[in-house]
Chain A
Amino acid sequence: MLKPWGIRKAMKTPCKCGTAECENLRELLMQYADGQLDEAACERIRVRIEACEACCEEVENVLQLKNIVKNYCGCQGARPALHDKIRNLVGGLSSQEP
């Protein structure tokens, strides 16, 4: 599992690649950060982000944003009264219908 702030520290090679190539990879890097790639594709991305600072930053950026949204917009549970109300309404339908 990726750690949002740990990737760049492990990077040894400064990036020498052109920005156009990095731009083309942005969506793929996002899919990597979202855990939506298969293992072979993940491995290719891992090699890439170890060699390219811009790509590494992009992945960190996505992970950071995901963490923030998850932390601040997490579960705001329903009031107990709503649970009761919905159960009563559904129970009413169940007893009315054949």
Chain B
Amino acid sequence: MTNKERERLFEREFYPQLDALHNFAMRLSGQENDADDLVQDTFLKAWRFIESYQRGTNAKAWLFRILRNSFINEFRKKSREPHTTDYSDLDDRYTGSDEDHYVYTPVDLRVEVFKNLLGDEVTRALQALDVNFRLIILLSDVEEFTYEEISKILDIPIGTVRSRLHRARNELKSLLANYAKTLGYQESDENTL
């Protein structure tokens, strides 16, 4: 691919994703400067490895995959991520023959609790999630990627996407319920969600 062709590809398909990439990076890193570095790094890598991009495929998913890999493999090594759990073993358990052993503990939030939650609390709860859970919720609910696209971005089987997303949402609901409780919003028996 000539440089002119690359430039046209960047203009048409890559640059329009810059704001979405930045939002994703902000939610992952929590810092504006770190997010800027991640997005910049993503575009430089996209230029460098352009031959591995198959034209006509999903440019947005390809860029998100680059950014996610940069974040996981390089960025987090030097970041202040407090703790991370490798959920791959657990994921395998839930999608493998031991799936029946997955004990689901439902967390039910109430309508009025949801209504009283503020943006800051939602952001804080999301930031408190394990990074693997945060990643999958952002890709699904903010960027609205399909399970198949998420599977490619995260390099995990679709069954794992389903089980991880299910668990991530349950964890997020628990955190939101805790925030609501500390703010004094009590659950009632009505308006159950």
- Chains A and B bind each other: yes
Binding site for B on A (CB under 8 A): 5, 23, 26-27, 30-31, 34, 36, 57, 60-62, 64-66, 68-79, 82-83, 85-87, 89-91, 93-94, 97-98
Residue in A23, A30, A72, A90 whose beta carbon sits within 8 Å of that of B162 in the complex: A30
Residue in B19, B140, B165, B192 whose beta carbon sits within 8 Å of that of A78 in the complex: B19
A57 and B122 CA atoms in complex are apart in Å by: 21
Interface contact B169-A70, CB-CB below 8 Å:
no
Q: Say yes or no: is B65 at the interface (Cβ < 8 Å to chain A).
A: no
B residues 77-122 in Cβ contact with A at 8 Å: 104, 106, 108-109, 111, 114, 117, 119, 122
- Stretch of B54-62, B66-74, B141-149, B182-190 on the interface side: B141-149
Residue in B15, B108, B173 whose beta carbon sits within 8 Å of that of A57 in the complex: B108
Binding site for A on B (CB under 8 A): 3, 6-7, 10, 15, 18-23, 26-27, 35-36, 39-40, 43-44, 47, 104, 106, 108-109, 111, 114, 117, 119, 122-123, 126, 137-138, 140-142, 146-147, 162-163, 165-166, 169, 172-173, 176, 192-193
Residue of B nearest to A4 (CB): B193
> Interface SS of chain A: helix, strand, loop or mixed?
helix
Interface contact B147-A34, CB-CB below 8 Å:
yes
Interface contact A78-B39, CB-CB below 8 Å:
yes
Q: Collect the chain B residues with CB atoms within 8 Å of residue A87's CB.
A: 15
Q: Collect the chain B residues with CB atoms within 8 Å of residue A79's CB.
A: 36
Residue in A27, A57, A76 whose beta carbon sits within 8 Å of that of B192 in the complex: A57
A77 and B27 CA atoms in complex are apart in Å by: 12
A73 and B137 CA atoms in complex are apart in Å by: 10
Interface contact B18-A73, CB-CB below 8 Å:
no
Q: Collect the chain A residues with CB atoms within 8 Å of residue B122's CB.
A: 68-69, 72-73
User: How far does the Cβ of B121 sit from chain A's closest Cβ, in whole Å?
Assistant: 9
